[in-house]
Structure formats: C-alpha cells, structure tokens
C-alpha cells in the first residue's frame, strides 16, 4: 500500500526573547499549524493514491498491469497533483470534483519521470533512486501507455448529469499544453518552461476550472501554480542554493492569492512558504 509523507525543509521557530511562556505558546501554535498543514496535504495525496489504486489494480494480464501499477507509484510524488485539489477547494469546489484530474496529473508526472530515469538514459546529472523491477524495454512501453491512460481517465469522468464536459475538455487542453511541445524547451529555458513548472501551473488551473472558479481566479491560480512549480523545481535540484530566486517567486505567488478570502488561503499557501516548503512524497507500490 502506498505511503506518503511530507518533509518540512525549513521551519523557523525562533522568536524574540520576550517571555518563556509566551515564546512557548507561540512555538506550540506554530507546530500545531504546521501539523495541520501536513495533515491537509497528506490527506489529499492519500485520496489521489486511493483513486489510482482503484483505476490501476494489479490484474490480468499481469504483463501489462503489474509494471503499470509499479511505475505509477514508484516515482517520487509531485505536489502538482495535490495542488490541483487544493485549488479546486479554494474556489469552492469539492475534492471529488478534482480527484480524477489530480490523478491524471500524477500519471503525466510518472510518465515523464520513468522516461527521464530509465537505465538506458544517457544522463550527466546524478540519477535519482528508482527501483527498476522490469527490463528497460518494458518500462519504455509501459511509460508510453501511462500518459494516454491519464487522458482516458479524464475523458471517462465526463458526466452528462453534472454537465461537466466543457470543464473536462478545458482541463485536457491545459494538461496537454503542460506536457506538450512548449514544455520540451526546458533544457534551453530553465526559467519558464520546464515540465515541473508547467505541471504545477496546469494543476492549479485545472483545479480552479473544475471547482467553478471564474476567469480571474483561474488565471491567478495558474500563475500561483507556475511560481510554486519553480520553487519546487529548485528545491528538488541537488546541490542548488537559489534562495534569492525562491524569495522572489514566493512573493509573486502570494501576491496572486491576495484576491482570495484570507481565511481560505493559509493551507494552499504553505506550498510556497516556510511552514511546508519542500514536499517529498515517497510512495511504495
């Protein structure tokens, strides 16, 4: 069964030396808030995992579904899929409205990750650890099937009773752009078009669309997702210290949330703030 955890890479619990009792209260309040935010993101990821396990059970023919199941859950989790759900809930939607899109975004991420980390891939950078249970040829063919299956899930979620076909079609377009030719220039432009950036961008926009957000809300969350993706992209690069860029992108991301109800933005904002800065979802098939 998949497990998920969120590591918090930077939490500043230091305060001015006022009074030990006041300092302790503030510290406990901060810890409680961080724990609540952890629980929020963990619950989203748990729901995404549950949905994917139902969609991709290990069944006959095992030569197809066993590697597909394994390669879906073996890559590190992306916060882009959880951001999709959080954006949906921020604009007033229900988690169920976005869970299929969030699952599809994870499948896109898994496909990209599998192809980028195959044993036969010629890489100069350090290779992240990923268990290779199958031959490279099987991983390649299975990875090629994961992405279209994500779109199949989205298409299958169209419900005439809910009249959601237009929203689903728009989400399919958003995700297609995130993994299409525009994202392939990532090696030439690390600032704007990497796939991790665009997956977060499309994830936030898709959640807002499915949650019934208006055009301004969709656009603002799309920008928020882009900055969140840039931050997560830097944090996941080994040996990189880009605090200046992170601070800049964090400020721009939070600026996009000023339009929303201040009481509702705390949890989604933790994807770019120190309360829960780096998401490290690790799953086991």
Q: Which pLDDT value is given to residue 277? A: 46
Binned at pLDDT 50, 70 and 90, residue 130 comes out as low
Q: Is residue 180 part of a domain?
A: yes
Whole-number average pLDDT of the chain? 80
Q: Is residue 268 part of a domain?
A: yes
**Mean pLDDT value of segment 258-284:** 73
Q: What is the pTM of this model?
A: 0.80
Q: Is residue 234 part of a domain?
A: yes
Cα distance from N-terminal residue to C-terminal residue, the chain: 6
Q: Which pLDDT value is given to residue 175? A: 95
How many domains would you assign to the chain? 1
Does the pLDDT of residue 151 top 90, yes or no? yes
Q: Is residue 285 part of a domain?
A: no
**Mean pLDDT value of segment 86-104:** 97
Q: Which domain holds residue 8?
A: 2-279
Question: What is the distance between the alpha carbons of residues 77 and 56, in angstroms, rounded to a whole number?
Answer: 17
Does the pLDDT of residue 275 top 90, yes or no? no
In this structure, what CATH number is given to the domain that contains residue 30?
1.10.600.10
State pLDDT tens for residues 14-38: 334 445 554 555 554 445 566 677 7
Binned at pLDDT 50, 70 and 90, residue 120 comes out as low
Q: Is residue 284 part of a domain?
A: no
């Amino acid at each position: 069964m998949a497990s998920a955890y969120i590591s918090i890479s930077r939490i500043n619990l230091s305060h001015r030396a006022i009074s030990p009792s006041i300092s302790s209260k503030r510290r406990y309040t901060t810890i409680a808030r961080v724990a609540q935010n952890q629980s929020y993101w963990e619950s989203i990821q748990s729901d995404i995992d549950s949905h994917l396990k139902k969609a991709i059970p290990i069944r006959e023919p095992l030569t197809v579904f066993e590697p597909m199941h394994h390669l879906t859950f073996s890559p590190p989790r992306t916060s882009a899929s959880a951001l999709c759900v959080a954006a949906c809930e921020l604009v007033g939607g229900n988690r169920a409205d976005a869970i299929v899109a969030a699952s599809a975004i994870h499948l896109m991420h898994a496909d990209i990750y599998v192809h980028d980390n195959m044993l036969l891939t010629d890489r100069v950078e350090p290779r992240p650890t990923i268990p290779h249970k199958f031959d490279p040829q099987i991983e390649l063919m299975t990875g090629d099937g994961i992405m279209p299956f994500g779109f199949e899930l989205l298409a299958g979620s169209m419900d005439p009773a809910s009249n959601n076909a237009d929203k689903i079609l728009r989400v399919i377009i958003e995700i297609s752009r995130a993994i299409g030719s525009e994202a392939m220039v990532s090696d030439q432009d690390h600032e704007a078009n990497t796939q991790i950036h665009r997956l977060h961008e499309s994830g936030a926009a898709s959640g807002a669309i499915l949650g019934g957000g208006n055009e301004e809300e969709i656009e603002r969350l799309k920008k928020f997702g882009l900055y969140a993706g840039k931050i997560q992209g830097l944090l996941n690069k080994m040996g990189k210290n880009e605090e200046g860029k992170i601070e800049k992108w964090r400020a721009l991301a939070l600026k996009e949330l000023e339009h929303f109800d201040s009481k509702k933005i705390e949890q989604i904002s933790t994807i770019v703030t120190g309360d829960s800065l780096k998401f490290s979802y690790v799953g086991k098939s």
